[in-house]
Amino acid sequence: MREALKEAQKAFDKDEIPIGAVIVADNKIIARAHNLTETLNDVTAHAEMQAITAAANFIGGKYLTDCTLYVTIEPCVMCAGAIAWSHISKIVYGAVETKKGFSVLDKSLLHPKTTVLKGILAQDCEKIMKDFFVKKRK
Comparing CA positions, the residue from 13, 28, 130 lying closest to residue 73 is 130
For 40, other C-beta atoms within 10 Å of its C-beta total: 12
Please give the Cα distance from 126 to 132 (Å, whole number): 10
Element (H, E) at 55: helix 47-59
Cα distances from 28 to residues 47, 52, 67, 94, 108, in angstroms, run: 18, 15, 10, 20, 28
Q: Which of 7, 48, 97, 126 is catalytic?
A: 48
Q: Is 16 a catalytic residue?
A: no
Q: Which are the catalytic amino acids?
A: 48
